[in-house]
Structure 1
Amino acid sequence: MEAALVVVIVAVALAFAWTNGVHDASNAIATSVSTRALTPRAALVMAAVMNVVGALLGTSVAETIATRIVTLAPPGAEPGTVPEGMAGAALVVVLAALVGAIGWNLLTWRLGMPSSSSYALIGGLVGAGLAGAYAIQWGEVMDRVVWPLLLSPVIGFTLAFVLMTALLWAIRGARPAPTTRRFRAAQTVSAAAMALGHGLQDAQKTMGVILLALLTVGWAAPGSSVPLWVKLCSAAAISLGTYAGGWRIIRTLGRRLIHLDPARGFVAESVAASVLYVAAMGLHAPVSTTQTITSAIAGTGATRGLAAVRWGVLRSIALTWAATIPAAGLLGALAFWLLRAVLPV
């Protein structure tokens, strides 16, 4: 039964990665598509390829997801291990977390709202863990989830506003048409960097939840690295989802929030990619690509004046962000109770 559950978890985790790619394709390509720096299909292909590259660059975020959110081992057991006979119930937590995260992804995708797949997964883990009376590592959740959740939009907005202001001053005497062409060309690089950062962050969350399942049944040793097959499967799933595209969310980010031009698109993507790299490689923190790029886009738009940003749209997005962890947590908890009722574990 435990082996079958692991197989199901791997399949559902890859389905989550696919929905993540569909949902978050907008993060990498909304700005470059809306400014016509890239055609939609070319942007999707580029994003899919760079997602694979980013997914293979590190595992620190995956290890955070696997070991620093919920403790499935009982008190006194070695960290990362679950005694024989108790692994089935612990695996239900992992499966329920994925079901909750997928449910929230599909709902927000249907509504066209750019919520965070990362925080949906974390919310699902916390909710399912609490429903099963497992220990939540609240200190780690605060340090690696809540603080990045609060700070990354502020940092993205502020950096984008400052850099865009400096750029406008630097090019104040330049001819508009050649300048626009140059920034369209530069956006191909910044969009690729954003897609790389998305793979570096979001594909690792899928790796982390699969690693958590492998640790639970002893198929991976505590402290071991993410297996290569897990990396490749996660990268492929998120890239296929990215290629499928999330056009409803792309329209929200690229057209409804502000009117983007190539210079602002380049700055927003560059700032967001930088925040993602620092969080993953330096802080080992799973930050939201959605929050980072959305706040950076708003920051560049604010240089035109407060009226340039559609604050009603941004408020709706922010409310979706605030609801993500508790809503996905509730879905994860409901999924846990349902699965425990129907599965013989």
Structure 2
Amino acid sequence: MEQQVIELDGAIGGGQVLRSALSLSMVTGQAFRIKQIRARRSRPGLLRQHLTAVMAAAEVCGARIAGAELGSQELRFEPGAIRSGDYRFAIGTAGSCTLVLQTLLPALLQAPGTSRVRISGGTHNPLAPPVDFLTRSWLPLMRRMGAGIELDLLRHGFVPAGGGEIDVTVQPSQLTPLDLCERGALLSQQALALTAGLAPSVAERELNQVAKRLRWAAETLHPITLDPARGPGNVLLLEYVFEQVTEVFSAFGQVLLRAEKVADTAINQATDWLRSDAAVAEHLADQLLLPMALAGGGSFTTPRMTEHLHSNIAVIERFLPVTIECSEEGPERLRVEVRNGR
């Protein structure tokens, strides 16, 4: 009997709809067909990093695929059995290594043995979480849920050059529910201004803006100069360590964008979250939802419903027998709860 295929409309969101579908297809064994991939984006269809995620997922589970080519807005994916192994994937541009990795991790956690994954491309991309966000914020929570994951940043890769690389080891693991509705007390905070192949004044001006607006002491401000061969590139990271969660906010330097404006972008993200009293900001909310669904339960609070969160809920509920309830607990505090069963 022919397997039932889950039909998805990619126009409900961006690349995350595809990535979540790939992850869920691999772990559930359900085939899917997605149309109108990234239809509302300025460059619709599969870009290089999306295509790498598709091909990587297919390799990990021996999938049969149709429509996997650059610019394609339709894809069919029929998964096979998940295989552990030693994998290497090259995006070939500054497309995000972290998004390709996050597509594969749910499946590799259910693989029969330990896997090692090397991905080359962009490690610090304005349209994706930087590696620092994964290592400092997301992976500690994944480990709290039982995931055996180790990640090493081998080389930084900025837009447009790319050339970065990460090395990841994944142990087979059973995820357990996590409730993350309060931050707890603030333990520490710091700002890191990374530059590669740029004048030292770029980092100085960004950190001066942090000191001015947030009134942080000099010992919390850290300029970090990378190998000029990795540049040109610049990212400002603001890290807040609370008892229950660490959040990392980032902003990237761009041509014709003043260093102070770069700093303002990260500062505004951070102050928006701090004002809300929610446990996690919007990017971490997106990335906790699928692991919680696979764990069969969990909850978190976040400032508001976003397009990513809404579309992710829609995709997850197509693949898994879970109920995801969202309830407002205040003007800037949304509680999201994942429960097993419909």
Same fold judged by TM-score > 0.5? no
Bigger helix fraction:
1
TM-score range, shorter chain: under 0.3
More contact order relative to length (CA 8 Å, sep ≥ 6)? 1
TM-score, with structure 2 as normaliser: 0.27
Normalised by the length of structure 1, the TM-score is: 0.27
Greater strand share, structure number: 2
